[in-house]
Structure 1
Amino acid sequence: MYIEYVKKNFQPTASELELLNSQEIIELYEYIQQQGGFIKYYSQQYNKFQSYDNNEILQLFQKYLLNYELRTTDIDGQYLHRCAYIEFYKAINCFTESPQKWLKDQVTLWSLPKDVFTKLNKNLFTFQDLSKNHRNFEIDIRAQNPFIDTTLAKEENYYQAYTMTVKQYKDYAEDPKSFFYNNPQYKKDQVYQAVNVDMEEWKEEIHRLFDFLPKYFSRNNGLNYLRQNCKGANVPEIYMRVQNCWIGGQQDFQGLSQININHGPGDCIWTIIDANHIDKLFHLMPDLFKKEGRWYVNIAYFLQNQIPVKQIIQKQGDILIIGAGCFFQAKNIGNSIHTSFNFLMMDDFSLQQIYKRQIRNDFFQFWSVIAIRNLFLDIYIHEKLTILKDYLKQFIDEELRRQLSKKHLTRFKLYISSKDVLICTKCYKEIFIFFQFIKDWVYYCPDCYIDCEDVIYMKYNIIQLKCLIQADTIQCSKLLCSNYIGESKCTIKQTLSQKVQLQDQDNSSIVESRQFLDEFLVGLNIESSNSQNQNGTSHQIDLLSKDKKQIKKIKEKITMIKKQHVKQLKYKKKEKYSDLQVIKYIQKTKRNILN
């Protein structure tokens, strides 16, 4: 069978030939072929090669039999690795311990018991239930060539955009023949997947997901320090795919860890490269980051180029945890529904991968998805992580150098209403410290400045930031802290949480929440003005010299908005507000005040 092939193409030792001729190897090879081949078999949670006693047999498959199976001589099976699997008896640890203790590998698969994922899916996460609950909800569709196997990023293979309703996609997934007959605008030789479906308003689905996941994913998540919700990051997104749909080779756009749940019914095959080996892949493909997501290759491509790679079969009820900075691609074996969101584990390695990805995003001039510089600053203020000190110093110095290189001299002002995330109107990059603000709420980053403007605004006092990096202890401050969206260590945020009781109750809770928010904003103005008086650098930094007038103006606007709120209640029946409505009301009020 394979003996002649091995002799012809390799130089096996006498002992290896003897073992290859043994009945044990012959029977094992036939059994593995029945299971779908060596790569698929070896990647399974339980296989014969887990035993150290079988290490010699494993080497034979990696060196010779995999080459015979694929009919090629340039495959090095030693670069095929396995992901980590969470054993059933260890699952309780995942609910009681921090992820840092049980996430020991960059790729981890956790299989939920059948009765558990049945309850997770019940009435929510099947094609039928999604169609029933969100029938006319419009979703983005990506058309793909189903049989692509190339690193070339061709537009016709990857991206042609459509929209469907959830009901239409359910019809397509269940009966494509009838769907194509009734919808001739779609091509039969392509497959269609629903991507980045926004779940922000799907409260029941989101609550169900987090009820079934370890609380540490929400409690100990660095994304709790985000200043606004980001779809797909801290707000889950849902994907619907049919057989042969694929996710092109890519790294998470911000280098974050990713949690992906397969709700079934079909399987999905993932190919993943640890973050440690991304540079080797980047060296092989210098344009890797320019064509992310637009190409898909067989796992043999990585083995041929001696890049360590893992293959994972994600079945219904499997939770796949992809570590920070990992490269991945996926292809559907059957129809399936997936939910996905990001997780920031605040360890040195994860933060390092996020930083490296941000530098690459800057180099390739990619848009900002998450304001990483602001996020790092907020994490550093509250978590005191040493590794962030150097990163922040580089970010701050970079801003200063860029500002000092400008030919046109300007005045600096601390802009008190810039605590929310600001994105440049022109290039869509994150604004960290310096920016221009032009009427009609147009923001420009230092790279997009208009030279004729005489004033440059700052989100933070640059002197305070420099001192902050050198400080041994850091206290929460209304000048530095923001209203974070998650559960954090910010004492100001904790005070706000005590004031705002997010429970179904009458409108008095909203008024109380607004009053505290008013105090927060006025206090922020006072502290900003006091800071300027202490610094005494009015020529270089103008921190709102007319502080009293500004505070009076804000108070007048607060009074006006309160009157409008009372007036509206006269014409509207008193009703109960959900958690989300309270949050939205506060955010909207804040924007109105700052306008």
Structure 2
Amino acid sequence: MYIEYVQNNFNPSASELELLKSQEIKELYEYIQQQGGFIKYYSQQYNEFQSYDNNEILQLFQKYLLNYELRTTDVDGQYLHRCAYIELNKAINCFTEPPQMWLQDQVTLWSLPNYVSAELNKNLFTFQDLSKNHKNFEIDIIAQNPFTDTTLAEEENYYQTFRMTLSQYKEYAEDPKLFFQNNPQYKSDKVYQAVNVDMEDWKEEIHRLFDFLPTCFTRNNGLNYLRQNCKGANVPEIYMRVQNCWIGGQQDFQGLSQVNINHGPGDCVWTIIDANYIDKLFSITPDLFRKEGRWYVNIEFFLKNQIPVRQVIQKKGDILIIGAGCFFQAKNIGNSIHTSFNFLMVDEFSIQQIYKRQNRNDFFRFQDVIAIRNLFLDIYIHEKLSILQNYLKYFIDQEFRRQLSKNKLTNFELFISSKDVLICTKCNKEIFIFFQFIKDWVYYCPDCYVDYEKVIYMKYSIIQLKYLIQADNIQCSKLLCSNYVGESNCALKQIIQEQVQLSEEEDNSSIFESRKFLDEFIVGLNMESLNSHLQNGVSQQQDVLSNDTRQVQKITKKIKTIKLQQVKKKKHKKSAKYSELQVIKYIQQTKRSILN
């Protein structure tokens, strides 16, 4: 069978040949072929290779038998790695410990028991339920060549086509042949994937999703310091795919970790490169980042180029956690629904990967999805992560150099409530410090300034920021803190929430005091910064704080937002209690399974 092939193409040792001829290897080889081949078999959560103390048999498959399966001689199976699996006896730790304790690998798969995934999906996360609950909801559709195997981002392999309703996509997923007969505008030689389905207003689905996940994904998430919600990042999105749909090779656009849940019914195979090997992959494919998401290659491509690669078969109920900076692609074995969101573990490695990706985004002039510079600043203020000192210093100096490169000298002013996330109207880049503000709420970054504007605004004082990153002790202050979307360690936000909560229970005078406190928090930055600027001799052309009706509207909106959050929390108490009971039951049953 394979003996002659190995002898003709390789130089196996006498002991290797003897083992290859053994009945044990022949039977194992035949069994693995029945399971779909060595790569697929080795990528499963459990297989016979885990039980061997001697590694010789595994090495034979990696070195010789994989080449025989693929009918090639240049594949090095030693570069095929496995992901980490959360085993039954370790599942309890995921609920009780911070992620740094149990997320020790760059790729981790956690399989929920069938009864837990059934409760998670119940009435919400199936094609039928999505169609029933959001029948006329329109979604973006990508048409793809189902049989692509190339690094070329060719239009015929991947292109945007139409919009469908969820009920239409259900019809397509359940019976493609009938769907194409009734909808001739779609090509039957393509597969259609629903991407970036916005869940922002699907409160029941979002609550269910986070109720069944470990709380560390919400409480220990660095994205809690975002100043506004970002779809697909801290707000989950849904993807719906049929058999042979694929996610093209890509890195997360901001280098963040991803949490992906397969709601089923079918399986999906992921191919993942650790962040440590991205530079090697980049050296082989220099245009890697310019064509992200628009190409797909079989795993042999990575093995031939000696790039360590992991393959993961994600089944219904599997939670796949892809580490910061990893490169990944995926292909569907069957029809499936996935929910996905980002996660930021506040450690040096994750921050480093995000920083590297941001620099690449800047180099290739990609649009910003998340305001990373502002996020780094807020994390540094509250978490005191030392690696952020150098990164923030680089971003501040970079911004300062960009400003000094301008020929025309202008007046500088701090802008009221400019701590909100600002995006350049022209290039869609994040605004960090300097910007122009033009009537009708148009913002320009330093790269897009217009000559006729004489005033340059600042979100922060350069001097104050430089003092900040050199300080030994940093405390929350109106000068720096913002209104964060998640459960952060910001002392000021906690005080505000307590004030607002009290105001709901007390009389109108308390409500007035609470609003006054919130006003002071928002306006405080500008008052303190203005005084500081005047003391430093920076001339001011006008008082932007006086009679600003827009600012009053902003303050009112923020007050309403906080009050709404409190109302939502009260409404969600019953469902939260229910979900906590579900998790407790799961933990108890897990304990019993371990003891048995």
TM over 0.5: yes
Match of 2:579 in 1: none
Q: In 2, distance between residues paired with 1:509 and 1:253?
A: 48
| Structure 2 Cα separation of the partners of residues 63 and 471 of structure 1 | 55
Distance 1:236 1:20, change over 3 A: same
Aligned to 2:577: none
- The TM-score normalised by the length of structure 2 is 0.91
How far apart, in 2, do the equivalents of 1:242 and 1:560 lie?
A: 46
Distance 1:237 1:269 in 2: 19
Is contact 2:479–2:526 with CA below 8 Å preserved after alignment?
Answer: yes
Q: 1:89 to 1:444 in 2, by over 3 A?
A: same
C-alpha distance in structure 2 between counterparts of 1:554 and 1:85, whole Å: 55
TM-score (normalizing by structure 1) = 0.91
Instruction: Provide the secondary structure at the position in 2 that maps to 1:147.
Output: coil
Task: Give distance in 2, aligned partners of 1:183 and 1:510.
Answer: 59
State the distance in 1 between where 2:255 and 2:267 align: 25
Query: Aligned with 1:155: secondary structure?
Result: coil
Is 1:101 matched with 2:101? yes
Name the CA distance, whole Å, in 1 between partners of 2:337 and 2:512.
Answer: 40
Match of 2:469 in 1: 469
Structure 2 distance, partners of 1:576, 1:389, is 33
Task: For 2:391 and 2:288, locate their aligned partners in 1 and report how far apart those are by CA, in whole Å.
Answer: 24
Shift of the alpha carbon at 1:53? Answer: 2.2
Look up the equivalent residue of 1:579 and give its one-letter code: K
Q: Among 537, 543, 546, which residue is 1:546 paired with?
A: 543
Residue deviations 1:368-425 (CA, integer Å, cap 9, x gap)? 0000000000000111110000000000000111111111001110002211110000
Q: Please give the per-residue CA displacement for 1:151-171, whole angstroms capped at 9, x wherever unaligned.
A: 000112111221011100001
Deviation of residue 551 (structure 1)?
5.0
**1:527–1:265 CA distance, 2 compared to 1 (3 A):** closer
Q: How many Å separate the matches in 2 of 1:182 and 1:145?
A: 21
Counterpart residue identity of residue 278, structure 2: I
Q: In structure 2, what is the equivalent of residue 587 of structure 1?
A: none
1:123-142 per-position Cα deviation (integer Å, ceiling 9, x unaligned): 00000100110011111111
**Cα deviations across residues 214-249 of structure 1 (Å, max 9, x unaligned)?**
001100100000000000000000011000000000
Question: Structure 1, residues 353-374: CA drift from partner, whole Å, max 9, x if none?
Answer: 0000000000000000000000
Map of 2:592 onto structure 1: none
Local SS of the residue matching 1:474: coil
Determine the structure 2 residue equivalent to 1:592: none
* Residues 518 and 287 of structure 1: CA distance in aligned 2, closer, same or farther (over 3 Å): farther
8 Å Cα contact 1:411/1:539 also seen in 2: no
Amino acid at match of 1:55: N
1:225 is matched with which residue? 225
User: For structure 1, which segment, 283-292 or 452-461, has the greater mean C-alpha deviation from structure 2 after superposition?
Assistant: 452-461
Paired position in structure 1 for 2:575: none
Checking the alignment, whether the CA contact within 8 Å between 1:267 and 1:335 is kept in structure 2 is yes
TM-superposed deviation, 1:527: 4.9
Counterpart of 2:27? 27
Aligned counterpart, 1:357: 357
Q: Which runs of 5+ in 1 are unaligned?
A: 566-574, 583-595
Q: Residue 164 of structure 2: SS of its match in structure 1?
A: strand
Alignment partner of 1:579 is 2:593: no
Note the C-alpha offset of 1:517.
Answer: 4.7
- Distance in 1 separating the partners of 2:405 and 2:198: 42
Cα distance per residue 1:104-134 (max 9 Å; x no partner): 1000000000110010000000001001100
Asked if 1:116 corresponds to 2:116, the answer is yes
Partner of 2:47: 47
Per the TM alignment, residue 519 of structure 1 is displaced from its structure 2 partner at its CA by 3.3
Structural mapping, 1:197-276, within 5 Å: 197-276=197-276
List gaps (5 residues or longer) in structure 2. 572-596
> Corresponding residue for 1:289?
289
Aligned equivalents of 1:357, 1:330: Cα separation in 2: 21
Moved more, 122-131 or 528-537: 528-537
Percent identity of paired positions between Structure 1 and Structure 2: 75
Cα offset, 1:541, TM superposition = 5.6
Correspondence for 2:587: none
Of 515, 518, 532, which residue of structure 1 is paired with 2:530? 532
Q: 1:123 to 1:363 in 2, by over 3 A?
A: same
Deviations 1:42-97 (A, max 9, x none): 11121121235230011110110000000000000000000000001110000000
- The aligned residue for residue 191 of structure 2 is 191
What is the root-mean-square deviation of aligned Cα atoms in Å? Answer: 2.6
> Helix, strand or coil for the counterpart of 1:290?
coil
Amino acid at match of 1:92: I
Per mean C-alpha deviation after superposition, the further-off stretch among 177-186 and 317-326 is: 177-186
How many matched pairs? 566
Look up the equivalent residue of 1:321 and give its one-letter code. Answer: I
Shift of 1:26: 0.5
Q: Note closer, same or farther for the CA distance 1:434–1:44 as it changes in structure 2 (3 Å cut).
A: same
1:141 maps to what in 2? 141
2:438 alignment counterpart: 438
Structure 2 Cα separation of the partners of residues 393 and 115 of structure 1: 50
The aligned amino acid for 2:170 is: K
Post-superposition Cα deviations, 1:252-285, rounded to whole Å, max 9, x if no partner, equal: 0000000000000000000000000000000000
Given residue 568 of structure 2, which amino acid in structure 1 is its aligned partner?
D
Q: Determine the structure 1 residue equivalent to 2:401.
A: 401
Equivalent residue, structure 2, for 1:68: 68
Q: Which residue of structure 2 lines up, in the alignment, with residue 277 of structure 1?
A: 277
The 3 A distance-change label for structure 1 pair 517 and 281 is: farther
Secondary structure in 2 matching 1:437? strand
Query: Residue 126 in 1 paired to residue 126 in 2?
Result: yes
Measured in 1, the distance between the counterparts of 2:183 and 2:311 equals 36
Q: Cα distance 1:494–1:326, how it changes in 2: closer, same or farther (>3 A)?
A: same
Native 8 Å contact 1:193 1:241 kept in 2: yes
Q: Look up the equivalent residue of 1:278 and give its one-letter code.
A: I
Contact 2:107 2:323 in 1 (8 A): yes
Aligned partners of 1:186, 1:71: CA distance in 2, in Å?
A: 37
Q: Partners in 2 of 1:105 and 1:559 — Cα distance?
A: 43
Q: Is the 8 A contact 1:478 1:520 kept in 2?
A: no
Q: Specify whether residues 527 and 129 from structure 1 end up closer, same or farther in structure 2 by C-alpha distance, changes over 3 A only.
A: closer
C-alpha spacing 1:418/1:535, structure 2 compared with 1 (3 Å): closer
- Pair 180,16 (structure 1): closer, same or farther in 2 beyond 3 Å: same
1:90 partnered with 2:90: yes
Between the aligned partners of 2:35 and 2:182, the Cα distance in structure 1 is 38
- CA–CA distance in structure 2, aligned partners of residues 414 and 576 of structure 1: 30
Instruction: Check the 8 A contact 1:424/1:431 in 2, yes or no.
Output: yes
Q: In the alignment, what sits opposite 1:588?
A: none
CA distance, structure 2, for counterparts of residue 533 and residue 419 of structure 1: 17
The Cα shift of 1:520 comes to 2.8
Q: Distance in 1 between matches of 2:315 and 2:299?
A: 19
Q: CA deviation at 1:559?
A: 13
Quick check: 1:529–1:545 contact (8 Å CA) kept in 2?
no
